[in-house]
Amino acid sequence: MNLRRTLAVARKETLHIRRDPRSLILAIGIPMLMIVLFGYALTLDVDRVAFVAWDRSGTPESRAFIARFEASRYFESVGTVVSDAALARAIDERSAVLALVIDARFADDLAAGRPAHVQAIVDGSDSNTAGIVLGYAQAIAFAFDREMRIERVERAGARVLEPPLDLRPRVWFNPDLESKNFIIPGIGAVILGLIAALITSLTIAREWERGTMEQLVSTPVRPAELILGKLLPYFVVGMFDVLIAVGMAVYVFDVPLRGSVSLLLATAALFILCTLGQGILISTIARGQLLASQLAMVSTFLPAFLLSGFMFPIANMPAPVQVLTHVIPARYFVAIVKGIYLRGVGLETLWRDTLFLFVFGLVIVALAIARFRKRLG
C-alpha cells in the first residue's frame, strides 16, 4: 500500500467535504441537535406525578396522610374529587395519574389499631410509569403506617421496639438516580454511530452516481488505498463529533465524567472506526445514495438504539436477541462510556469491550476492501 496515494485520496475527499457545506452540517450540526433533543426530551425520571384525592373520612388523620403525598417531590396534587365519576374523569383525561380513595372509617380504624383502608388507583396505560408510581405510593404509605404504630405504642406507655431488619440503601455512581446520567452518554454513542456510518455510506455510492468511479479505477490507486483514503477525513470529523458530544454531556447536561478522558477518546476512536467501516461496506454494496443511506439507518441506528442496552436491558430480551446483540459494536461502546462516565473504571475492567471494537473495526474495514476489489473484478 502506498501512503502517498492514500493521502491523495484523503485530500480529494477533504476538498469535497469543504466544498459541500451540507456534508459538514450533516456531520457536525445534526449530532448536536439530536443530543439536545434526546437529552431534554428522553427521560425515564418519574416525578411531580399528578394525583387527586377522594377524602371520604374528612379527618385530621386523613388530611395528614394526603399531606405526605403533597410534601413529596414525586407527587403534585391537582385537586380533590367527591365521586366515582369525577375520579374516573380525572384518570381518563390524564389530568391525574394517581387517585387516592380514603375510606370513611380511616381515622376510626387507625385509633382502634385496625388496618385503615386506602385505595390507590393508577393509570396503567404506561406500565413502567405505573409501576414506579405504585412504588412511590407504597413507600409513603409504609412510612405513615410506621409512624402511626410508633405513636400508638408510645401513647400506651410501652417501649418502642426496633425493627428486626434495618435496610440502609446506598446507590453508587448515580446517587440521585437521574436518568440523564446514563441516557446522555448512551445516546451520544448511538448518534455518533449513525452519523459516522451515514456520511461514509454515501462516499463510494456518490462516486458511482456521478460517474467518477471509473476515473478513480483507471488510476494506480489500489482498493485498500482508496478505502482508507476515504476513511481518513471522516475519521477526523467523527473525532470532532466525539469532542462535541463529550463537551455537551459534561458542560450542558452536567453528566459526571469520573474516568479517564484519554481512554474515552481512544475507545471512541475504535468505535468511530467500526461505524465508518460499516458505512464504507454499505457504500460498496449500494450504488445509489438513497439506498445507501437507508441501509445505514437500518443497520446502525435501529440496532444501536434497541439492542445496545442503552435503553432496554439486554438481560430482559429473548435469548436469540441476546445472542444477536454480541455483533453490534454499540453494545460494547455503550458499556464503555457508562463505565468511564459513571463508574470511573479503566482498561483493566473494559479491556474485553475494547478488544472487540478493535477486532470488529479491522474485520469490517477488511471486508469493505475485499468487497470493493471483488466488484472491480
pLDDT in tens, 288-298: 777 777 787 78
User: What pLDDT, on the 0 to 100 scale, is given for residue 350?
Assistant: 92
Q: Are residues 67 and 29 in the same domain?
A: no
Dihedral, 72, 75, 77, 81 alpha carbons, nearest 10: -120
User: What pLDDT, on the 0 to 100 scale, is given for residue 224?
Assistant: 79
User: What pLDDT, on the 0 to 100 scale, is given for residue 357?
Assistant: 92
Q: How confident is the model at residue 161 (pLDDT cuts 50, 70, 90)?
A: low
- Tell me whether residue 140 is in a domain: yes
Q: Are residues 117 and 214 in the same domain?
A: no
- Tell me whether residue 249 is in a domain: yes
- Tell me whether residue 161 is in a domain: no
User: What one-letter code names the amino acid at 353?
Assistant: D
Last residue of a domain, one of 155, 187, 205: 155
Q: Are residues 292 and 357 in the same domain?
A: yes
Q: How far apart are CA 172 and CA 256, in angstroms?
A: 13
Residue 281 in contact with residue 373, Cβ under 8 Å? no
Mean per-residue pLDDT of the chain: 83
Q: How confident is the model at residue 69 (pLDDT cuts 50, 70, 90)?
A: very high
Q: For 311, which DSSP code?
A: S
φ/ψ bin of 169: left (φ > 0), alpha (ψ from -120 to 50), beta (otherwise): beta
Return the sign of the alpha-carbon dihedral for residues 130, 320, 345, 37. Answer: negative
User: What one-letter code names the amino acid at 319?
Assistant: A
- Tell me whether residue 172 is in a domain: no
Q: Are residues 200 and 290 in the same domain?
A: yes
pTM: 0.79
Q: Are residues 360 and 277 in the same domain?
A: yes
Q: Are residues 324 and 191 in the same domain?
A: yes
C-alpha cell at 103: 375510606
Residue 15 in contact with residue 229, Cβ under 8 Å? no
Q: Could you tell me the residue range of the domain that residue 64 belongs to?
A: 49-155
pLDDT in tens, 304-358: 888 888 878 888 888 888 898 988 898 999 899 989 998 889 899 999 999 999 9
Structural domain count, the chain: 2
- Percent of the chain having pLDDT more than 90? 22
C-alpha cell at 61: 388523620
User: What one-letter code names the amino acid at 74?
Assistant: Y
User: What pLDDT, on the 0 to 100 scale, is given for residue 160?
Assistant: 58
Last residue of a domain, one of 155, 186, 214: 155
- Helix-strand-coil split of the chain, %, nearest 5: 70, 5, 25
Q: Are residues 200 and 240 in the same domain?
A: yes
Q: For 117, which DSSP code?
A: P
> Does 52 score more than 90 pLDDT?
yes
Q: How far apart are CA 141 and CA 149, in angstroms?
A: 12
- Compute the average pLDDT of residues 232-255: 88
- Compute the average pLDDT of residues 58-86: 91
Most confident of 190-204, 233-247, 351-365: 351-365
- Tell me whether residue 164 is in a domain: no
Q: How far apart are the first and last CA of the chain?
A: 19
User: What one-letter code names the amino acid at 285?
Assistant: I
Q: How far apart are CA 93 and CA 97, in angstroms?
A: 10
> Does 213 score more than 80 pLDDT?
no
User: What pLDDT, on the 0 to 100 scale, is given for residue 265?
Assistant: 93
Q: Are residues 109 and 206 in the same domain?
A: no
Triad 151, 155, 159: Cα angle to 5°: 80
User: What one-letter code names the amino acid at 70?
Assistant: E
Q: How far apart are CA 273 and CA 358, in angstroms?
A: 8
> Does 236 score more than 60 pLDDT?
yes
- Residue 107 makes CB contacts below 8 A (sequence gap 6+) with 57, 59, 60, 61, 62, 116
How many alpha carbons lie under 13 Å from residue 83 in its C-beta half-sphere?
Answer: 3
What phi and psi values does residue 328 have, to the nearest 5 degrees?
A: -105, 115
- Tell me whether residue 165 is in a domain: no
Dihedral, 231, 311, 42, 357 alpha carbons, nearest 10: -20
Q: For 27, which DSSP code?
A: I
Q: Are residues 338 and 216 in the same domain?
A: yes
C-alpha cell at 238: 467523527
- Tell me whether residue 167 is in a domain: no
Lowest-confidence pick of 82-86, 184-188, 287-291, 341-345? 287-291
Cα 48 to Cα 27, 129, 278, 356: the distances in Å are: 37, 12, 43, 42
What phi and psi values does residue 97 have, to the nearest 5 degrees?
A: -95, -30
Range list of H helices, 221-346? 223-251, 261-285, 289-296, 302-307, 319-324, 329-338
Instruction: Read off the CATH number of the domain in which 110 is found.
Output: 3.40.1710.10
Q: Are residues 227 and 296 in the same domain?
A: yes
Please report the DSSP string for 340-366 in residue order. Answer: IIII---HHHHHHHHHHHHHHHHHHHH
Cα 157 to Cα 111, 114, 137, 153, 162: the distances in Å are: 16, 19, 31, 7, 16
Angle between helices 261-285 and 223-251 (to 10 degrees): 140
User: What pLDDT, on the 0 to 100 scale, is given for residue 1?
Assistant: 67
Q: Are residues 15 and 60 in the same domain?
A: no
Q: Are residues 285 and 360 in the same domain?
A: yes
